[in-house]
Amino acid sequence: MQYISKIFKLSVILCFSIINVSSFGQKIDVDFNQINPDARLYECFDKTYIQQLQKDNPELILYYNFYLDNSYFVGKEVPEKPINGKDIHTVTLKNETSSDKIQYFDEDLSKFNPKTFNVLKYNFKTDYNKYTNYILGNTGKILIFYPKKRFIKKYNDYKKSLTNNL
């Protein structure tokens, strides 16, 4: 399903465009040539595509790197307070190679590590204004995505901090 991959790339470009518009007027003077792609990007994108981004749009590499570690956090379920969330096993892989076989999240949740988890591999549905929860099986943990609006602010603040550290 190459079209899913293309739709994802277009969605990211659109989101990135929104980020750029929301940061209009903020001069960010960062040496983007010094940005190295996170190794997890190679699990989602073709090496040639990443090399092209490094050459033509290194700020997108910065965005992807930031998204991998900062678009979500892991919380704990509280028995007294029921969580409205989706079962993570209902989430599909992004880059499906076969149109007749849908692949769902199948990672070992007992070994779930937010520092190595590759959120870009999956079709997580997030909301612009609300947190989105995914229940991590019977681990008692929840994967919680920031609202897109809040994430964009976090990303813009991060870019500003890079400028301030120069």
Sheet containing 72-76: which strands, arranged edge to edge?
72-76, 141-145, 132-135, 86-87
Q: How many CA within 13 A on the CB side of residue 39?
A: 3
Helix or strand run (H / E) with residue 134: strand 132-135
pTM: 0.78
Instruction: Give residue 82's pLDDT.
Output: 74
CA distance 118 to 103: 16
Contact predicate 95/4, CB 8 Å: yes
Question: What is the residue-level pLDDT of the chain in tens, covering all 166 positions?
Answer: 444 454 455 455 545 555 554 444 444 455 666 789 999 999 999 999 999 999 999 999 999 999 999 999 999 987 777 778 999 999 999 876 656 688 999 999 999 999 999 999 999 999 999 999 999 999 999 999 999 999 999 999 999 998 876 5
CA distance 43 to 98: 17
